[in-house]
Amino acid sequence: MPSIKNINDFKKAKNEKKTISVITCYDYAFARIIEGTETDVILVGDSVGMVFAGYSSTLPVTVDQMIYHSEIVRRGAPSKFIIADLPFMSYQVSVEEALTNSGRIMKESGANSVKLEGGREFRGVVEALVRASIPVCGHLGLTPQSIHKIGGYSVQGRDGDQRKKIFEDAKILEEAGVFALVLEMVPEQLACEISGALSIPTIGIGAGRYCDGQVLVINDMLGMNEEFNPKFLKKYASLHDAVKNAISEYDREVKDGRFPGENNVFK
């Protein structure tokens, strides 16, 4: 049985030391497959911009695209708790815009919650969303929407000042009301300390073994991109090769007249 059915189950899972499994997914076909598994939560991430749409960063992703993908995932996975990302510039300008955009995502997609990147600078936004009954998941460490400020997709929190800031931001986000916190690409020891200091669960990606949950992007964990091999990733399948081989075989069979065969024709 998945341990997350509603918002209250996040703290419950943490208290009962049940590790939370999260998968980022963007489409109906994969959502349907996830629906049939024990996976606890689906994140419709703005990584859709890079993984699905081929942009070089997550910055171009729009609120309408997040609604489109989240709604599709909801149709494929009606029973799962869904977190939908707030895309770049949908919550940074003002509390009002954050409320309007989050409200649209919740109303139009059927997601259960939203996620935003950043710490103390978004305290007021998190508080306003939570006040408006919109559950918020935090995201610290490597925050891809800040790629031009950070300068690269690298481990965050290795030096003392950064480490202190991430730790403090985690506490501030918890106080502001987030129900869970994604920690992306931070040293294992820092993630462990943050997880120990918070009453809400941490969900790690490249954050080591001691987070309260883990998240991977479905395309990555299924090995769909043979060029994407970060240290934190484990590939549970080699779909790139399997799909490429299948397509090549189809191509050969069409061209040499073996497809369609006797079994594929109507009489």
47 binds ligand KIV, rule: CB under 6 A: yes
User: How far, in Å, CA of 203 to CA of 214, rounded?
Assistant: 5
- Whether residue 23 contacts residue 218, with contact meaning beta carbons closer than 8 Å, is answered with yes
- Whether residue 26 contacts residue 69, with contact meaning beta carbons closer than 8 Å, is answered with yes
Residues 13-32 that bind ligand KIV (CB under 6 A): 24
CB of 139 to ligand KIV, least distance (A): 6
186 binds ligand KIV, rule: CB under 6 A: no
Structure-token pair, residue 174: 């918890």
In the complex, residue closest to ligand KIV by CB? 45
| For ligand KIV, the closer CB: 71 or 85 | 85
Terminal CA-CA length for the chain: 46
Residues 79-118 that bind ligand KIV (CB under 6 A): 85
- Number of shown-chain residues binding ligand KIV (CB under 6 A): 11
Query: 182, 186, 191, 192: which one contacts ligand KIV (CB under 6 A)?
Result: 182
Q: Which residues contact 187 (CB under 8 A, 6 or more apart)?
A: 155, 157, 158, 163, 208
> Which position among 97, 184, 249, 253 bears the catalytic label?
184
CB of 173 to ligand KIV, least distance (A): 15
CB of 223 to ligand KIV, least distance (A): 16
Binding mask 50-69 for ligand KIV (x = CB under 6 A): --------------------
Structure-token pair, residue 245: 């081989």
184 is catalytic: yes
Query: 34, 134, 215, 224: which one contacts ligand KIV (CB under 6 A)?
Result: 215
CB of 163 to ligand KIV, least distance (A): 20
| Triad 238, 241, 246: Cα angle to 5° | 120
Query: 40, 46, 71, 174: which one contacts ligand KIV (CB under 6 A)?
Result: 46
| For ligand KIV, the closer CB: 14 or 219 | 219
User: How far, in Å, CA of 6 to CA of 227, rounded?
Assistant: 36
| For ligand KIV, the closer CB: 129 or 142 | 142
205 binds ligand KIV, rule: CB under 6 A: yes
Backbone angles phi, psi at 70, to 5 degrees: -65, -35
CB of 161 to ligand KIV, least distance (A): 24
Residue indicated by tokens 């189950």: 9
CA atoms within 13 A on the CB side of 14: 19
Burial class (CB in 10 A: 0-12, 13-18, 19+), 158: exposed
220 binds ligand KIV, rule: CB under 6 A: no
CB of 184 to ligand KIV, least distance (A): 6
Closest by CA to 55, choosing from 104, 101, 88, is: 88
- Residue 142 is classified by DSSP as S
Please give, one letter per residue, the 3-state secondary structure of 232-254.
CCCCCCCHHHHHHHHHHHHHHHH
- Sites of contact with ligand KIV (CB under 6 A): 24, 43, 45-47, 85, 182, 184, 205, 215, 217
Active site residues: 184
